[in-house]
Structure 1
Amino acid sequence: MKGSLLIAGTTSDAGKSIVVAGLCRWLRRQGVSVAPFKAQNMSLNSMVTADGAEIGRAQVMQAQAAGIEPTAHLNPILLKPGSDRRSQVVVRGRPVADVDAVQYRDHRDHLREVALESYHELRSRHDVVVCEGAGSPTEINLRRGDIANMGLARAAGLPVLVVGDIDRGGVFAALYGTVALLEPADQELVSGFVINKFRGAPELLAPGLEQLRALTGRPTVGVLPWLDGLWLDVEDSLGLSAARPATGLPHGEETLRVAVLRFPRISNFTDLDALACEPGVSVSYVTSPGELAGADLVVLPGTRATVSDLAWLRENGFEEALRRTDRPVLGVCGGYQMLAETIHDDVESRRGEVAGLGLLPVTVRFAPDKVLARPVGAHYGQTVHGYEIHHGRAERHGGEPFLDGCRAGAVFGTTWHGALENDGFRRAFLSEVAELAGRRFTPAPDTDFAALRERQLDALGDLVAAHLDGEAVERLITRGAPPDLPALPPGGAPHQPLS
Structure 2
Amino acid sequence: MSGALLVAGTTSDAGKSVVTAGICRHLARRGVKVAPFKAQNMSLNSMVTRDGAEIGRAQVMQAAAARVEPEGAMNPVLLKPGSDRRSQVVLLGRPVAEVDAMSYRALKERLREAVLASFADLRTRYDVVVCEGAGSPTEINLRARDIANMGLARAADLPVVVVGDIDRGGVFASMFGTLALLDAADQALVAGFVVNKFRGDPALLEPGLAMLRRLTGREVLGVLPWLPGLWLDVEDSLDLADRGSLGYDGSLPPRGEDVLRVAVVRFPRISNFTDIDALAAEPGVLVRFVTRPEELADADLVVLPGSRATVSDLAWLRERGLADAVVRHVSRERPLLGVCGGYQMLAREIHDEVESRAGVVPGLDLLPAVVRFGAEKVLGRPRGTAFGEVVDGYEIHHGVVTAEGGEPFLDGCAVGAVRGTTWHGAFENDGFRRAFLASTANEAGRRFVPAPDVSFADVREQRLDALGDLVADHLDTDALDRLIEHGAPAGLPFVPPGAPGGTQL
Question: TM-score normalised to the size of structure 1?
Answer: 0.99
Percent identity over paired residues: 70
- The separation in 2 between residues aligned to 1:330 and 1:224, in whole angstroms, is 38
- The separation in 2 between residues aligned to 1:417 and 1:322, in whole angstroms, is 21
- Kindly indicate whether residue 483 of structure 2 is the aligned counterpart of residue 479 of structure 1: no
2:449 aligned partner: 442
- The separation in 1 between residues aligned to 2:158 and 2:502, in whole angstroms, is 28
Deviation at 1:495, TM superposition (A): 5.5
- The separation in 2 between residues aligned to 1:263 and 1:231, in whole angstroms, is 19
- The separation in 2 between residues aligned to 1:113 and 1:496, in whole angstroms, is 44
Query: For the Cα contact (< 8 Å) 1:488–1:494, is it kept in 2?
Result: no
Q: Which amino acid aligns with 2:37?
A: F
Q: Which amino acid aligns with 2:254?
A: P
- The separation in 1 between residues aligned to 2:381 and 2:415, in whole angstroms, is 25
- The separation in 2 between residues aligned to 1:349 and 1:494, in whole angstroms, is 52
Deviation at 1:51, TM superposition (A): 1.4
Q: Residue 256 of structure 2 is aligned with which of 252, 255, 260?
A: 252
| Aligned ranges 1:192-231 → 2 under 5 Å | 192-231=192-231
1:364-386 per-residue CA deviation (whole Å, 9 max, x = no partner) reads 00000000000000111100000
- Kindly indicate whether residue 392 of structure 2 is the aligned counterpart of residue 402 of structure 1: no
- Kindly indicate whether residue 291 of structure 2 is the aligned counterpart of residue 318 of structure 1: no
- Kindly indicate whether residue 431 of structure 2 is the aligned counterpart of residue 424 of structure 1: yes
- The separation in 2 between residues aligned to 1:229 and 1:18, in whole angstroms, is 12
- Kindly indicate whether residue 42 of structure 2 is the aligned counterpart of residue 42 of structure 1: yes
1:333 aligned partner: 340
Q: Which amino acid aligns with 1:257?
A: R
Query: For the Cα contact (< 8 Å) 1:256–1:282, is it kept in 2?
Result: yes
- The separation in 2 between residues aligned to 1:197 and 1:319, in whole angstroms, is 38
| Aligned ranges 1:25-104 → 2 under 5 Å | 25-104=25-104
- Kindly indicate whether residue 273 of structure 2 is the aligned counterpart of residue 266 of structure 1: no
- The separation in 1 between residues aligned to 2:191 and 2:139, in whole angstroms, is 19
1:19 aligned partner: 19
Q: Which amino acid aligns with 2:380?
A: A
Deviation at 1:229, TM superposition (A): 2.0
- The separation in 1 between residues aligned to 2:33 and 2:115, in whole angstroms, is 20
Secondary structure of the corresponding residue to residue 419 of structure 2:
strand
Secondary structure of the corresponding residue to residue 493 of structure 1:
helix
1:271-324 per-residue CA deviation (whole Å, 9 max, x = no partner) reads 001111110000000010011111000000001000000010000001111111
Unaligned runs of at least 5 residues, structure 2 = none
| Aligned ranges 1:335-354 → 2 under 5 Å | 335-354=342-361
2:382 aligned partner: 375
1:218-249 per-residue CA deviation (whole Å, 9 max, x = no partner) reads 11001000112222111001111235523310
- The separation in 2 between residues aligned to 1:300 and 1:384, in whole angstroms, is 20
- The separation in 2 between residues aligned to 1:492 and 1:410, in whole angstroms, is 64
Secondary structure of the corresponding residue to residue 436 of structure 1:
helix
Secondary structure of the corresponding residue to residue 500 of structure 2:
coil
Deviation at 1:496, TM superposition (A): 4.9
Secondary structure of the corresponding residue to residue 425 of structure 1:
helix
Q: Which amino acid aligns with 1:320?
A: D
- The separation in 2 between residues aligned to 1:228 and 1:95, in whole angstroms, is 35
1:366 aligned partner: 373
1:285 aligned partner: 289
- The separation in 1 between residues aligned to 2:128 and 2:241, in whole angstroms, is 32
Deviation at 1:254, TM superposition (A): 0.3
Q: Residue 307 of structure 1 is aligned with which of 288, 308, 311?
A: 311
1:396-438 per-residue CA deviation (whole Å, 9 max, x = no partner) reads 0111110000101111100000001111101111111111111
- The separation in 2 between residues aligned to 1:157 and 1:362, in whole angstroms, is 53
Q: How many residues align?
A: 498
